[in-house]
C-alpha cells in the first residue's frame, strides 16, 4: 500500500508556506483538466473580526498554486453556517481575491436542492444521525474538492479541520435555516455531529486537504477563541491523514476526535498518522513549532 503523504511547512509568509506544503504533492494528475472547487472556511465574519475564517492571502496562494496545473474550471464554493455567505466573503476580503483572480464564486447554500443519502459506520445509531441531506446539486459535479480549512478547536466537534469544513457547509442553509440549527426543516446534524461529519466525508470525498494555522484558534471555537499566528500549513491528498496531523497539533490523537475515528472505520483515508510519510516538517517538528507559537513552550509528542 502506498503511504499517504502529509506535507507540513512553516513560514512567516503564508504564500511561501502554502507553496512549500503543496509542492511535494503530485497535483498534476489530480488537478489538470478538472472542475476544481476550493471550499474555504467562511463560517462567519465581519469587517471588524475575520479571525475565524480563511484569510484572503491564504485563499489567493492556494488559487495561484492550483492554476499552475491548468484545471478546466476553478470555482470557490461557499456555504456559511452562521451568516450570509456573500457577506462573509466580502467582509473577510475573500471575495476581492475571487474577483482579482477571475475565478467563479458559487454559493451552495442557495436553491435548487436535491436529497443525497448518507452511509454511517456499521454500528452507528441510525435513528440519531442524518440519513439524507439536502444539498445544491452543483456540489455533485465537482471533480476535485479542495477543503481549505483553518486549524481550530471546536466546542462540539472537538476540532474543525478538513472533514468538518465540508460536512457542516454543504447542507443547504437556505433549506435548513440560518444558522442551520434553527431547523426550519428537520435535521439532526447537531444531535450526533461526529457521525454526521464522517458520513459526509464518505459521501463527498475530499481530493486535497489544506489546513492553515494563519491564524490558528485554541481555547474554544469555531468562533471566539484565542487566535495565534503559527505560519503552519498542512497539505495532503489523504484528507483523513491531514486531519489526523492537524488534530495532533491541537493535542489530540484519533481516539480523541470521534469523527476521525469513525472516518477511519468508513475507509476514508489513513487509519493511523504513523502510516503517513512527511517530506517537509516531521509531525514532531510541526507540533513543537505549533505549541511554541501558541503556548510559548515547545511540546514534543510521545
- The DSSP code sequence of the chain is -PPPB-EEEE-SSHHHHHHHHHTTS--HHHHTTSEEEEE---S---SS--TTS--HHHHHHHHHHHHTT--SEEEEEE--SSS-HHHHHHHHTHHHHHHHTT-EEEETTSSP-EEEE----TTS-TTSS-SEEEE-GGGGT-SEEEEEEEEEEETTTEEESHHHHHHTTSS-HHHH-SSGGG-SS---TTTSHHHHHHHHHHHS--SEEEEEEEEEEESS-SSSSEEE---EEEEESSHHHHHHHHHHHTT--GGGSHHHHHHHHTT-S-SSGGG-B-SSS-HHHHHHHHHHHHHSS-----
pLDDT for residue 128 is more than 80: no
Q: Is residue 1 part of a domain?
A: no
Q: Is residue 210 part of a domain?
A: yes
Q: Is residue 163 part of a domain?
A: yes
Mean pLDDT computed over every residue of the chain: 94
Q: Determine what percent of the chain is predicted with pLDDT higher than 70.
A: 95
pLDDT interval class at 82 (50, 70, 90): confident
Q: Is residue 302 part of a domain?
A: no
pLDDT for residue 123 is more than 70: no
Average pLDDT over residues 261-285: 95
Average pLDDT over residues 194-216: 97
Least confident of 44-53, 147-156, 239-248, 293-302: 293-302
Which CATH number fits the domain that encloses residue 82?
A: 3.40.50
Number of domains in the chain: 1
Q: Is residue 286 part of a domain?
A: yes
How does pLDDT run across 39-68, given as a tens digit for each residue?
Answer: 999 999 999 999 999 999 999 999 999 999
For residue 30, what are the domain limits?
Answer: 7-295
pLDDT for residue 184 is more than 80: no
Q: Is residue 300 part of a domain?
A: no
pLDDT for residue 81 is more than 90: no
Q: What is the pLDDT of residue 2?
A: 84
Q: What is the pLDDT of residue 130?
A: 85
Q: What is the pLDDT of residue 126?
A: 46
Q: Is residue 2 part of a domain?
A: no
How does pLDDT run across 207-231, given as a tens digit for each residue?
Answer: 999 999 999 999 999 999 999 999 9
Q: What is the pLDDT of residue 191?
A: 85
Q: Is residue 251 part of a domain?
A: yes
Amino acid at each position: 500500500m502506498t503511504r499517504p503523504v502529509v506535507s507540513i511547512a512553516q513560514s512567516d509568509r503564508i504564500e511561501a508556506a502554502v507553496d512549500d506544503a503543496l509542492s511535494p504533492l503530485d497535483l498534476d494528475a489530480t488537478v489538470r483538466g478538472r472542475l476544481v472547487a476550493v471550499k474555504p472556511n467562511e463560517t462567519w465574519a465581519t469587517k471588524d473580526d475575520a479571525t475565524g475564517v480563511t484569510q484572503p492571502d491564504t485563499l489567493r496562494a492556494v488559487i495561484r498554486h492550483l492554476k499552475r496545473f491548468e484545471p478546466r474550471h476553478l470555482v470557490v464554493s461557499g456555504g456559511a453556517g452562521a451568516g450570509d455567505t456573500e457577506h462573509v466573503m466580502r467582509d473577510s476580503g475573500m471575495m476581492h481575491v475571487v474577483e482579482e483572480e477571475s475565478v467563479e464564486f458559487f454559493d451552495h447554500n442557495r436553491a435548487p436542492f436535491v436529497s443525497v443519502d448518507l452511509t454511517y459506520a456499521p454500528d452507528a445509531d441510525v435513528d440519531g444521525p442524518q440519513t439524507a441531506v439536502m444539498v445544491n446539486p452543483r456540489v455533485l459535479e465537482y471533480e476535485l474538492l479542495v477543503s481549505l480549512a483553518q486549524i481550530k478547536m471546536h466546542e462540539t466537534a472537538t476540532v474543525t479541520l478538513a472533514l468538518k469544513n465540508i460536512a457542516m457547509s454543504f447542507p443547504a442553509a437556505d433549506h435548513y435555516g440560518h444558522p442551520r440549527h434553527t431547523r426550519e426543516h428537520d435535521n439532526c446534524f447537531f444531535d450526533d455531529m461526529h457521525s454526521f461529519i464522517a458520513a459526509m466525508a464518505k459521501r463527498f470525498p475530499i481530493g486535497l486537504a489544506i489546513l492553515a494555522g494563519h491564524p490558528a484558534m485554541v481555547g474554544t471555537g469555531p468562533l471566539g477563541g484565542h487566535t495565534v499566528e503559527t505560519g503552519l500549513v498542512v497539505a495532503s491528498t489523504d484528507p483523513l491523514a491531514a486531519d489526523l496531523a492537524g488534530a495532533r497539533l491541537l493535542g489530540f490523537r484519533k481516539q480523541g476526535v470521534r469523527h476521525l475515528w469513525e472516518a477511519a472505520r468508513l475507509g476514508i483515508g489513513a487509519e493511523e498518522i504513523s502510516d503517513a510519510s512527511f517530506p517537509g516538517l516531521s509531525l514532531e517538528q510541526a507540533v513543537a513549532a505549533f505549541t511554541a507559537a501558541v503556548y510559548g513552550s515547545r511540546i514534543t509528542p510521545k
